[in-house]
A and B are shown apart, each in its own frame.
Chain A
Amino acid sequence: KQEVTQIPAALSVPEGENLVLNCSFTDSAIYNLQWFRQDPGKGLTSLLLIQSSQREQTSGRLNASLDKSSGRSTLYIAASQPGDSATYLCAASGNQFYFGTGTSLTVIP
């Protein structure tokens, strides 16, 4: 069974810092890797989707990379802002979607 891990569980950074969130998965036979944002009491919002044939995707200040061979994906957030504070989850798609437990990010003004 696919297992997805996100470390650290929580991260606190000062505003303006660049940061990297990590996602690792045990089975490299995935169709895609998707990053989500979840605000407290809300649903999951899709941020970036990386197809298995791709190495990275970018949207604004966000850049996600995928290395299937090592079972890793990273989400890079440039020039972090307090509004980026949220929980970030990754999901690996195989025959189902397998989720990590997320990294809770706090950006301190």
Chain B
Amino acid sequence: NAGVTQTPKFQVLKTGQSMTLQCAQDMNHEYMSWYRQDPGMGLRLIHYSVGAGITDQGEVPNGYNVSRSTTEDFPLRLLSAAPSQTSVYFCASSYSSTGELFFGEGSRLTVL
């Protein structure tokens, strides 16, 4: 079991570029989510999904897109990167929105 796998681990972008952060889980979890972690602000929910084909916005969704075509994968797309999106991004999954949450190792993104 790999658990929750995120790629890439590190990425540097220029303002205006787009990119996709990948997240995959092999635990057959229905619930998947993306968070960003910034110093002093804790973890903030960007988008989440309760199953394939179903996504919803979290606390800070602007500038990000998600889709859930399979149970295993939940990619996060940055449409036009801005310096304010410099952060560490975490993908997490659970068997349900009320179950035990498991995290990936994180993706550190720097936008210049």
Q: Is A10 an interface residue (CB 8 A)?
A: no
Q: How many residues of A contact B (CB 8 A)?
A: 21
A34 to B101, CA, bound (A): 8
Q: How many Å lie between the Cα of A36 and that of B100 in the bound state?
A: 11
SS class, residues of chain A in contact with chain B? strand
Residues of A within 8 A of B90 (CB): 43-44
In this complex, how many residues of chain B approach chain A with their Cβ under 8 Å: the count is: 22
Residues of A contacting B67 with CB < 8 Å?
none
Which residues of chain B come closer than 8 Å to A31, judged between CB atoms? 98
Q: Quick one: CB contact mask for A22-65 with B, threshold 8 Å, 1 for yes?
A: 00000000011010100001111110010000000000000000
List the one stretch of A13-21, A72-80, A97-105 in contact with chain B. A97-105
Docked complex Cα distance between A31 and B100 (Å): 10
B43 near A34 (CB under 8 angstroms)? Answer: no
Closest to B6 in A: A43
Provide the bound-state CA to CA distance between A46 and B43, in Å.
Answer: 15
Contact, CB under 8 Å: B43 / A99: yes
Q: How far is the CA of A43 from the CA of B89 in the complex (A)?
A: 10
**Interfacial residues, chain B to chain A (CB-CB below 8 A):** 4, 33, 35, 40-43, 45, 48, 58, 90, 92, 97-106
